[in-house]
Structure 1
Amino acid sequence: MSQPESTSQNILPNWVDSTHIHGMLRGIERESLRMQSNGFLSQADHPKALGSALTHPHITTDYSEALMEFITPPLSSIGETLNYLKDIHAVVHQQLEHDEKLWPLSMPCMLDDAEESIRLAQYGTSNVGRFKTLYRHGLGVRYGRRMQTISGVHYNLSFPDHLFEALQANETDDALKALSLQDYRSHRYFGLIRNFIRLTPLVMFLVGASPSVCQCFMTGREHHLLPLLKGTLFLPYATALRMGRFGYQNSAQKQLGIHYNNLTGYLDGLQKAVKTPYAPFTRLGLDDEAGTPIQINDHVLQIENEYYSLVRPKQVPKAGETPSEALLNRGVGYVELRAVDVNPYSPIGIDENTAGFLEILALHCLLSDSSDLLDAEQEVIEQNQAEVVNRGRAPNATILEQGQAYPIEDWCRRYLNEMQSIAALMDQSYSTPLYSQALKVMLSRVDEVDETLSAKMIEDTIEQGGTWGFGSFMAQQHAGMYEQHQLSPERKAYFAEVATQSLQTLAVLEQETAPNFEQYLANFR
């Protein structure tokens, strides 16, 4: 196997300096299950003291009633963002009832045999609330409810317009120079997205943290996992089973042909998917025997959010806009990096090393050349992802790139070395050693595979007697941190006010009686 050549000198243009990245914003969405004291998934309602899950801007639920989602606003530094996330966790922990805890792993806590005991998220009696619950019911009907108990971290990132203006001014292609800033920005973000997809094996290897699962998660499914201990299944060299075929998968989506080569093609593919019936979903029916709706429609995607992807182009929707309409009207405003497992060793699911690494990687992806991503390369990327998910820590694990196979460590090291100048630039911009420190940590995981999160988790899962033992041990430790975390009086007052406000907003929504839900759904269908 030949050694990959380094191309580091091509990545950072010599005119880029630290002022160009001033004004970057980042926000984090972190998911976590509420777990009962006996280790099983919570059956309780979303705590009322936290406000309405439908209308609260920071504390909501995802697919199931027990799957909480914590959302920071976009902030100007990693430190601020992680602190805000800590505040949310502390607020939530105070309001958990019946000795519940936040489960610290991506793969779920104990689930019983009955799928129905995974309660769908409830958003009240308004049309929009009932619609959201019906969407989740449809997901359960289509893919099973177990899949909806997986947690992840989504890292949202935007770069300032003055960076895009400078990049455009330095373009040599007249067609790119002639684009509006909005279209040029979208063009560059799509380049970032394609490169991020190419480099997702790097993310899975370095921050993957789902090498094992509770046996209960695989109930009723065929699998190739091996017993690690009683009640826990694993693969010896796995890194991120959440990102593999037992995670968020949608066979129908495979046939979508949604491409990331430009905004128009991406939106066309998405629109086709939300409007095209799919025979296996048609066979499930739209309503049950009693006439109660069981899914929104029988299309490949019920709504756009059903499209599972490793990274998404995003724009903040205005009132009444779909995500696609927001993108069409104002172009890409930020990217959502979704291939990130929950770090069980961090009380907030992510630490500054992962955050720093993701930001360096994103800037690397933005500044690197990015050819169109065609089907043949996509297949190779999927092979690479499967290799890393299932056996990324194996001594003979390899990555395919441009017809060559490279040992995974060599491949990872090459890209991390290419990122050194970007880390230095970001350190300079933020007057911090955080970024180069993050890169150093990632390089140490490449040099010594036992330093990866996935390797440590296997070791600790054995030590704690299984998935439940490890998860509950970490949950207990994290609970101590939440209790010690001091919220400022202003932040405490803010969260109390937002909870109250969210319930008032919900009450207004629920007073609207027309149209009734049947008509509302018929209009959508």
Structure 2
Amino acid sequence: MCQPESTSTALTPTWLDGSFFQGMLRGIERESLRMQSNGYLSQQDHPAALGAALTHPHITTDYAEALMEFITPPLDSIEKTLDYLTDIHRFVFQHLPEGEKLWPLSMPCMLDNDENNIRLAQYGRSNIGQFKTLYRRGLGLRYGRRMQTISGVHYNVSFPDHLFAALQQQESDTRLKELSLQDYRSHRYFGLIRNFIRLSPMVMYLLGASPSVCKCFLTGREHHLLPLVRGTLFLPYATALRMGNFGYQNSAQKQLGIHYNHIKGYVSELQKAVYTPFAPFSRLGLNDENGEPLQINDHVLQIENEYYSIIRPKQVPLDGETPSQALAHRGVSYVELRAVDVNPYSPIGIDEYSAAFLEILASYCLITDSPMLDEEEQNQIERNQAEVVNRGRAPNAKILIAEQSIGLDQWIAQHLEHMQPYAEYLDQAYTTDLYSTALQRMLQRNRDVDVTLSAQVIHDTIQHGGTWSFGSYMAQQHVQYYQSLQCKPEIQTYFNALTETSLQQQQQLESDHSITFEQYLEKFR
């Protein structure tokens, strides 16, 4: 996959057609900050009318109390998924505190100088609720709370078993043919993951929408950004600063050696990190001077989800299972694509064309050969990512592929050409032209940097006089959009019921006094 062939048909199995993609499922997780009417981060609790963040299946909070997360179930079409996400947003907008809006950009704005004013997410008095808040306290201690205000979109994709069965039948390696369907499925998903990592610079260019940041985000930090307009910093050709040094970074994780070459190695390396002490975190202490816990432990990872990655293999955990145990027991059931910025021009943070492109890309990554990823290539990919994050729209932007320099636009064009058959398969599977249209839009972004999301954000930030003004304008546009939508009574009833159920479930958890939180925490230490 490193150096594509000259024609896309060479990469496409002759037996493949749209029927093999019928039965795909997709789901979306979208994050967004609640902002006050004065533009600053909300200091209010998660609205009770939205249910309990701990137990609600679709409306929760992420790291900060003001950072909302909206989660769709897995659904069988893009249209249904985006409609579901829209329904979540509509319900949320009805119940936001007076004057609050949802911040529409990945990077936050209007944070004050005191990080302690970024409230940690609260999940109630149950042991698991206190544990989740403590995890976030540890993150704030390790990396700073400002990092916990960044928003993103996670796109979850799974493929039908009949596609994996057909792929396995075509294998020439007898060892692969003899694997169980579960193990073979995991094998192919890990191939998808390696290829997605290789192609991540393309995702950052085509979907990146964070070329600038509010000056307040970098308070007390050294940086190389330049002033754009008052209160806004940027790089002239940046695409996705969220995915660079100003986003989620953990220097300790660089030493972990977690690889995506096979599931057993990934699981064991991830579990090892949760049990490996890290001296800088040990020096932070486990408890404060009053004996209150500061972090779950002093290990490289407090829990497995602390491992930041642009894509994750996923399996739904059963009660008592960690994510890696679920993978070890039942293999990979879907992948989570995490390198996606919030699209500020969409009221739900993502549009149908980005969704379709991500599914084309995932299909391409699944089917195309995927060599093992060694450390040298991984380092090269990270350099390519940095180049695209910081200067992806530069006329002379280049990346290294197999130690050869190639123009970024040329490299992207080659892969988009190879993806054309996959767009056609998906159009065929869903009786639509959405996928081909989406691919054409991405080709246009590659040909003309001025139509990329990142270029539009820079233009509109200048037009509005800064990040705060631009973000506030788009936030108000989204408010008006949801006010214009007619609310279906059955949708209202459905979400009201979820609110009540989640509150009851939290209450049940808080009524369990079988062990204290100190005893509960001791099991993890």
TM-score normalized by the length of structure 2? 0.99
User: Which residue of structure 1 aligns with residue 443 of structure 2?
Assistant: 443
Aligned to 1:99: 99
Shift of 1:5: 4.5
Secondary structure (helix, strand or coil) at the match of 2:9 reads helix
Q: Which residue of the partner structure matches residue 158 of structure 1?
A: 158
Counterpart-to-counterpart distance in 2, 1:486 and 1:179: 51
Distance in 2, Cα, partners of 1:422 & 1:133: 43
CA contact (8 A) 2:237 2:390 kept: yes
Q: Which moved more, 1:8-17 or 1:515-524?
A: 8-17
The residue matched to 2:228 in structure 1 has which SS?
strand
Question: Take 2:517 and 2:189, find their aligned partners in 1: how far apart are those partners?
Answer: 38
**Correspondence for 1:181:** 181
**Secondary structure in 2 matching 1:92:** helix
Partners of 2:147 and 2:278 in 1: CA distance: 20
- Distance, in Å, in 2 between the alignment partners of 1:147 and 1:403 is 33
Counterpart-to-counterpart distance in 2, 1:11 and 1:503: 51
Indicate conservation of the 8 Å contact 2:55/2:503, yes or no: yes
2:49 matched to which residue of 1?
49
Partner of 1:90: 90
How many Å apart are 1:314 and its aligned residue? Answer: 0.1
Residue number in structure 2 paired with 1:282: 282
**Partner residue, 2:469:** 469
Deviations 1:288-330 (A, max 9, x none): 0111000000000000000000000000111111111110110
Task: Measure, in 2, the Cα distance between the counterparts of 1:4 and 1:66.
Answer: 44
Cα displacement (A) at 1:402:
1.1
- TM alignment of 1:102-501, pairs within 5 A: 102-501=102-501
Matched to 2:220, the amino acid is G
Contact 1:35/1:109 (CA < 8 Å) preserved in 2? no
Q: Does the 8 Å contact 2:392/2:408 carry over to 1?
A: yes
- Is contact 2:297-2:524 (8 Å) kept? no
| 1:492 Cα deviation after fit | 1.4
Q: Is the 8 A contact 1:191 1:369 kept in 2?
A: yes
CA distance, structure 2, for counterparts of residue 69 and residue 396 of structure 1: 38
1:59 shift after superposition? 0.1
| Inter-partner Cα distance in structure 2 for 1:226 and 1:5 | 39
SS of residue matched to 1:508? helix
Deviation at 1:191, TM superposition (A): 0.1
Q: Which runs of 5+ in 2 are unaligned?
A: none
Instruction: Give the superposition deviation at 1:11.
Output: 2.4
The C-alpha deviation readout for 1:256-277, integer Å capped at 9, x for no partner, is 1000000001001101100000
Contact 1:63 1:148 in 2 (8 A): yes
- Distance in 1 between the 2:56 and 2:195 partners? 34
Distance 2:107 2:157 in 1: 25
- The residue type paired with residue 302 of structure 2 is Q
d(CA) in 2 for partners of 1:35, 1:475: 9
Deviates more, 1:486-495 or 1:267-276: 486-495
CA distance in 2, matches of 1:471, 1:219: 19
**10-19 vs 34-43, which moves further:** 10-19
Secondary structure in structure 1 of the residue aligned to 2:122: coil
Q: Aligned letter for 2:215?
A: Q
Contact 1:212 1:232 survives alignment (8 Å): yes
3-state secondary structure, aligned to 1:497: helix
Task: Tell me how far 1:220 sits from its aligned partner.
Answer: 0.5
1:507 aligned onto 2:486? no
Distance in structure 2 (CA, Å) of the matches to 1:75 and 1:485? 22
Contact 1:11 1:364 in 2 (8 A): no
Q: Residues of 2 paired with 1:10 and 1:64: CA distance?
A: 48
How far is the alpha carbon of 1:204 from its aligned partner?
0.3
Q: Distance in 2 between matches of 1:10 and 1:22?
A: 23
Corresponding residue number in structure 2 for 1:79: 79
More divergent stretch after superposition (481-490 vs 84-93): 481-490
- Indicate conservation of the 8 Å contact 1:64/1:120, yes or no: yes
Distance of 2:489 and 2:185 partners within structure 1: 40
Contact 1:33 1:151 in 2 (8 A): yes
- Offset, 1:98: 2.3
Distance 1:453 1:92 in 2: 26
User: Any residues of structure 2 matched to 1:50-65 within 5 Å, and which?
Assistant: 50-65=50-65
CA contact (8 A) 2:9 2:421 kept: no
* CA deviation after TM superposition for structure 1 residue 4, in Å: 6.7
Contact 1:4 1:410 in 2 (8 A): no
Alpha-carbon shift at residue 174 of structure 1 (Å): 0.4
C-alpha separation between the residues in 2 aligned to 1:370 and 1:487? 46
The Cα shift of 1:486 comes to: 2.8
* Segment of structure 1 superposing worse, 10-19 or 347-356: 10-19
**Following the alignment from structure 1 to structure 2, what is the Cα–Cα distance between the partners of residues 333 and 118?**
35
- Once the two structures are TM-superposed, the CA of residue 17 in structure 1 deviates from its matched residue by 1.3
SS for the counterpart of 1:53 is: coil
The one-letter code sitting in structure 2 at the alignment partner of 1:265 is: G
Secondary structure of 2:483's partner?
A: helix
- Write the letter of the residue equivalent to 1:394: A
Aligned residue pair count: 523
Match of residue 24 from structure 2: 24
Tell me whether 499-508 or 6-15 shows the greater mean CA deviation: 6-15
> Secondary structure at the residue paired with 1:199?
helix
Structure 1 contact 63–120 (Cα < 8 Å) conserved:
yes
Which has the higher mean CA deviation after the structures are superposed, 116-125 or 482-491?
482-491
- In 2 relative to 1, CA 91–504 (structure 1 residues): closer, same or farther, beyond 3 Å? same
Structure 1 residues 4 and 271, CA, compared in 2 at 3 Å: closer, same or farther? closer
Q: In the TM superposition, what is the alpha-carbon distance from 1:7 to its structure 2 partner?
A: 4.6
Task: Name the SS of the counterpart of 2:519 in structure 1.
Answer: helix
| Inter-partner Cα distance in structure 2 for 1:244 and 1:292 | 34
Q: What SS does the aligned partner of 2:210 have?
A: coil
What are the Cα deviations for residues 452-492 of structure 1, in whole angstroms up to 9, with x where unaligned?
00001000000001000000000000011111223332221
How many angstroms apart in 2 are the aligned matches of 1:174 and 1:10? 24
Q: Which consecutive segments of 4 or more residues in structure 1 shift more than 4 A?
A: none
Query: Residue 524 of structure 1 aligns with which residue?
Result: 524
Residues 106 and 150 of structure 2 are in contact (CA less than 8 Å); yes or no, is this contact kept in structure 1? yes
Amino acid at match of 1:491: I
